[in-house]
Chain A
Amino acid sequence: MGYICLYLPYMLSTLSPQGTTSSPLLEVRLGGPDGAIVGAFEPTSTGSWGTYVTVEFAIDLEGHDLSGIQNVTLRGFGSRGIMNLDWWEPVRYEANLETHLEVGTEAAECWKSIVARRGEVEILVTSAEGRGTWLGHHVLPSSRIDPTTGKIIIEGLTPGMIFSDPDRPPTVENEPDFAAEVAVLSRPVVFESVQDGPSAGGFNNLHGGHIIIYHTPHVAQRLEGAEIRGFGQQGELGRYVSHRLRILSFLVLLASSFYYDVSSSLLGFIHCLLLFSSTARLSLPQPHSRSSLADPLSHVW
């Protein structure tokens, strides 16, 4: 089970000004109102209370126990009315569609060392459509990279899941100044924290682990190629300990006596994991309809 698309017609006639915290937000939670957030949608005005607009957005069920019958809760936030909802329909898409994201051979070649070590990797595609669409990013959890063709093979991707107009995704080619970014989130070394459960207060306390890096005087220290997941602690609990060490999700803390260095022999090959402003283009289940590969990359990390 991976992504599900949620079709949801809604109507909304009035909104607070863009950019204020009172803008409405609809969260999709697994289970009850305090369950895990598996999707979110930020409604915008449809013009009037009599106009419904059908939207499609992804909910990510990867990693959740879905055995048996599961409840899904739509939880709204906003100082005024959130929206009127006509109906909603979850639609599961089958995996193994011939879907891929073309990033060019240079980036794919660059990322193949990660694939060799990790197998499938997580790909992040940022939002670059619409205005203020801060939640529109996509994590594609099970992607393979073919360095010979420059294609990222994405399992279970569906038309419209990433870009509203798959024929004109926001690439450097289509929108030279306003492309989306594509990045690999996987790294050779993974630090992953367990999380606490929901508190009695109705929200997750968000207490993950923390990493402290101590300073060794007169030594140039490095932290490279680490994947740090679920670290950090909200509130004062994890902020300081008695000897004033900062405890955050990841910290450049170079102040004490313990020397931590990730060996360059292990991590030296991951210097090009990130692709900014790529010429990424999306090929949907009709890959042969496209005749050309992506343009040369503008930047490769």
Chain B
Amino acid sequence: MSGDVAGSVVRNNAVVDSNQRCVVVHQTHKVRVENNVAYNAFGHCYICEDGTEEDNHFVGNLGVLTRNQQITIGATDHQASLFWITNTRNHFVNNVATGSQDSGFWFETNGAARYYGLYTFDGNVMHNNKGKGLITYRPGWRNPSLAVFNELKTYKNGGAGFDLHGTCKIKIKNGVIAANGVNVMGNRPGSNILEDTQIYSVDTLHAAGGTCLHDYGSSSGVTFSLEAGYEMVTLRNVTFRGYGPAPAGCTQPGRPIRLWQGNDIR
């Protein structure tokens, strides 16, 4: 609750076995949170507290293992995420989120922040989370202009790699999305773009024709709804790999492109 603190940094720290959250930025602007490690927490981990925080930089932070909060404090920590983004007017660069009991990155925007644009989301990684790698829902982020998720890697998450439910004008560029329950899922999206992006049903060696390293189940590619009034997903220079016959011992992957509750595109 500090207002503008330009020049202040929180850097190279380790937050271990936290009982409640990890690094909280609350009504504070322009702080730099950099190269920290957080391991084994309860609740959301790296967070902007109430959606008023702007121009903060989260750079090169590693978040590993957070559990759903046992005693709620009025927020959504019972569905813990490693990076809880309540205001998109901040900068997220080269962070890694792995091991959340729910989601890796959660854009939970409310009030006026629900309609803000995204400042920077570049080089972030989310993998091996129990739920989704990145989600923009609930209540549903309504960004006003094209938001670029550059060099995003989301892989081996139990749920969707990137769930953009209800969110429009998302551009995933230079991304790698692989071996998630569903790699990209969009229900009622619009004007979303995947560009210069690789989508794997499995891991790299597996997709390259190697033997079955691990069974990733029926991981499917891009799933979206086809509804009147919405401009649907645009795929531009997107590579799909690993959607052919599965090696022995592995489950046959799902479809590379699939309509939500509709017929598959083969």
Contact = CB atoms under 8 A, between A and B. Distances in A.
Given A222-B8, A223-B11, A124 B130 contact: no
A203 B67 CA distance: 15
B125 interface: yes
A221 to B, nearest CB: 5
Nearest to A223: B10
Given A19-B158, A232-B42, A255-B2, A175 B205 contact: yes
Interface string B108-150: 0000000000000000010111111000000000000000000
Interface hub of A165, A231, A244 (most chain B Cβ within 10 A): A231
A254 B130 CA distance: 34
A266 interface: no
Contact of A246 (B1, B5, B129, B130): B1
B265 to A, nearest CB: 23
Given A132-B130, A134-B130, A276-B62, A249 B41 contact: yes
B193 to A, nearest CB: 21
A21 interface: yes
Nearest to A207: B19
Interface size class of A (residues with CB under 8 A): 35 or more
B64 interface: yes
A127 B70 contact: no
A127 to B, nearest CB: 5
Interface residues of B, number: 76
B23 A252 contact: yes
B156 A132 contact: yes
B24 A246 contact: yes
B35 A227 contact: no
Interface string B41-68: 1100000010000000000101011001
B76 interface: no
Contacts of B93: none
Contacts of A273: 12, 14, 35, 37
Interface of B: 1-2, 5-26, 28, 31, 33, 35, 37, 39, 41-42, 49, 60, 62, 64-65, 68-71, 73, 94, 96, 98-101, 125, 127-132, 153, 155-159, 176, 178-181, 198, 200, 203-205, 213-214, 216-217, 219
19 contacts: A18-B130, A124-B64, A127-B128, A129-B214, A132-B129, A132-B130, A134-B129, A136-B128, A137-B65, A174-B205, A181-B98, A185-B14, A248-B20, A252-B10, A252-B28, A252-B31, A253-B26, A254-B31, A255-B2
Interface of A: 18-19, 21, 23, 42, 124, 126-137, 139, 164-165, 168, 170, 174-178, 181, 183-187, 203, 206-208, 215, 220-236, 238-239, 244, 246, 248-255, 267, 270-271, 273-274, 276-277, 299, 301
